[in-house]
Amino acid sequence: MSMSLFLSVPLILSLIYDENHLAFLLPAVLSFPLGFLLFELTESSAKLTLKEAFLIVSLGWFIASFIGAIPYLFYHFSFVDALFESTSGFTGTGASIIENLEVQPKSLLFWRSFEQWIGGMGIIVLFIAILPKLSVGGRQLFAAEAPGIDVEKVRPRIRDTAKILWKIYIFFSISLLIALIFEGMPFYDAFIHTFSTMGTGGFSSKNESIGFYSPLIQYTITLFMFIASTNFILHYKALRGRFGAYLRDEEFRFYLILGLISIIIITVSIFPEVGNLKEAIRLSSFQAISIMSATGFATADFDSWSWLPKLILFYLMFMGGSANSTAGGIKAVRILLILKYCLREIRKTIHPSAISSIRLNGRVVDEKIINTVVSFFLLYIFLFLTSSLILTSFGYDLITSFSASITCISNVGPGLGLVGPAENFAFLHPIAKLTLVFCMIAGRLELLPLLMILYPGFWKE
């Protein structure tokens, strides 16, 4: 039913710009009764079982992507292409099959970016309020301090948490929108890029992406990509006056330091070619933060860079942003916990009798959560390896297959090689595209809800 509401925005735009309004009218009209039907069918059940919750989370994203794909079908997109583009939108990936953006209808490009912003709203709630309850990938640990969740109460208020976080999301979105308009970006473009930035999506309305705009705009978007990929619980604390919350958080420090190291290495690597230190810093910080935050905007064709900066960007694609943000990827806090897990094992081998626990922000982390985090990482790698294998079976080279897989699983957008930032995903075989559609949703939902419904044991009993 919300979809129906969301679709009315591009519908109005299509009327203003005199474009095909049936493209939005049809799904808007279709989704309302569909939603109402689902609502009526499920309302009676007093309490969700764990399995039902997983099923709803997984199917929800698929259904949204399907409905969101309908407008594209009106513009000569094949079904697979429409689904790819729509899924890329809702999952905040930003991988595209559109070759020339600047000839596309304005209402469609608006919808594309709007999907990413809507997806961002969905993912914040999913990450902070829903997945922690399902114990997915250690989420219960990362969301422990979520606002509105009162541990003393039997029934934690998901609704309250969602409202608080959405307010923060909207606050930053409006701030960015005003900043972009103030910095000279046209009104329409400002909306498009605000949506894509805050949803860490990466869809642009320009073929040159953010490279089209002024350096000031580039730095503004760099900052907001970083904000969108930072833990929203920290934003919540900061907005209530506790600015120290950022630097007191171990994940934030780790994320910041990794970002700075990456920017320094990339700057040094591309400096000889760029020839201008200021520009080298601007390009490297934009690209590094764009990939780390899993946004995927570009101000340079980083695929033409030398191998060291490319490999760093490739590594960053795995990590992605912080927990409890709109960013995709394994998340900085999980990488941090895994490094601690490895160091502990080295310590244990030296001192077999010593008992050592892993701490995060000064508190001991439960071993069960550690195991969940580690297996999440392993499943992530496993999905990456499998997807790459499927892609190479269509003859695509290793760099293309590897980077297309990880950029979709981590919801980044551009990859390397044939799917580099100056290229697109149009040339891929339909089955390869469907594989990546699966990867985008699997990555977005943090694997387990989707892997679970594929696991035979799920359907027993």
Q: Residue 314, interface with its own copies (CB under 8 A)?
A: yes
Binding mask 235-254 for its own copies (x = CB under 8 A): --------------------
- The only residue of 39, 79, 182, 307 in contact with its own copies, by rule CB under 8 A: 307
Report the half-sphere exposure of 272 (CA within 13 A, side-chain side).
5
Q: How far is the CB of 303 from its own copies (least distance, A)?
A: 11
Binding mask 441-460 for its own copies (x = CB under 8 A): -------x--xx--x-xx--
Q: Residue 359, interface with its own copies (CB under 8 A)?
A: no
Rounded Cα distance between 57 and 128, Å, is 14
- The only residue of 69, 338, 408, 428 in contact with its own copies, by rule CB under 8 A: 338
- The only residue of 397, 426, 430, 431 in contact with its own copies, by rule CB under 8 A: 397
217 vs 391, beta carbon nearer its own copies: 391
In this chain, which stretch among 105-113, 246-254, 398-406, 423-431 interacts with its own copies, using CB under 8 A?
398-406
Ranges within 47-106 binding its own copies (CB under 8 A): 50-51, 54
User: How many chain residues are in contact with its own copies, going by CB under 8 A?
Assistant: 53
Q: Residue 273, interface with its own copies (CB under 8 A)?
A: no
- The only residue of 65, 287, 372, 387 in contact with its own copies, by rule CB under 8 A: 372
- The only residue of 2, 214, 276, 306 in contact with its own copies, by rule CB under 8 A: 306
Rg over alpha carbons for the chain, rounded to the nearest Å, is 21
Q: Which residues bind its own copies (CB under 8 A)?
A: 50-51, 54, 134-136, 306-308, 310-312, 314-315, 338, 341-342, 344-350, 352, 371-372, 374-379, 381-382, 385, 388-389, 392-393, 395-399, 401, 416, 448, 451-452, 455, 457-458
